[in-house]
Structure 1
């Protein structure tokens, strides 16, 4: 795998994890994927995707896209903080319990896949 493939794969995993987080959250609150106006998931997910994009820039994620630190930690923190700030700025709700749950879920998703990837890459006999 070359670095461009790793960058695309890591960005896709991050985006997919964030979309999954938003979709599960909407489903758990009986809001449905589309919502009343048909933009439910998009409305919920865009602040977090924007926060993640900012995190990729801050961490220079393209240099070590699969590293859990610093890339994963910075992308996670930026996704959480940026996402919550953008939710507030766009008139969406933010409660302490939501921040805690989002922080835990997003950490397990955005840092977790990188930790697992790193452990798998270190397995003996793995063809590199």
Structure 2
């Protein structure tokens, strides 16, 4: 449960940071509009990684389909709803979501390794 909440918070933070950089008049509303496709994509990744494959939610193995789902499904949903999918945005979203969704998992894996030794 903690892993899911952390993923949601980080995806919303990604959207909020992006909206803040564009000086939106309604940053909270615009952040929600930006975040929802990526949240749906991450949920699909969660369904595969944790629901079907039964991987530990905080594992690197689970993080990959969650990250890929967030980016790929998120971009498809953005395109289907008339939102922008410019190449530069796809690149930035892929990198930032990768750092966010995989980064904390890398730290957990390192901490677990240290605790075992």
Same fold (TM over 0.5): yes
| Distance in 2 of aligned mates of 1:66 and 1:59 | 10
Q: CA deviation at 1:85?
A: 0.4
Matched, 1:15 2:8: yes
* Higher normalized helix content (fraction of residues): 2
Residue ranges of structure 1 left out of the alignment (5+ in a row): 1-7
Unaligned runs of 5+ in 2: none
Question: CA–CA distance in 2 between the matches of 1:47 and 1:124?
Answer: 37
Q: Are 1:33 and 2:23 matched, yes or no?
A: no
The one of 25, 47, 51 aligned to 1:57: 47
Q: CA deviation at 1:125?
A: 7.5
Distance of 1:100 and 1:72 partners within structure 2: 18
- Write out per-residue CA displacement over residues 83-108 of structure 1, whole angstroms, 9 at most, x where no aligned residue: 00001111111100000000000000
Whether the aligned pair in 1 keeps the contact of 2:49 and 2:57 (CA below 8 Å) is no
Q: Between Structure 1 and Structure 2, how many residues are aligned?
A: 114
| Counterparts of 1:123 and 1:65, CA distance in 2 | 19
* 2:82 corresponds to 1:91: yes
| RMSD, matched Cα | 1.6
CA 1:125–1:89: 2 relative to 1, 3 Å: closer
Shift of 1:63: 3.5
Q: CA deviation at 1:42?
A: 1.4
The DSSP-based 3-state class of the residue aligned with 1:123 is helix
Superposition TM-score, scaled by structure 2 size: 0.90
Aligned to 1:74, the other structure's residue is in SS state helix
Q: Hey, what does 1:80 align to over in structure 2?
A: 71
Q: Which runs of 4+ in 1 moved over 6 A?
A: none
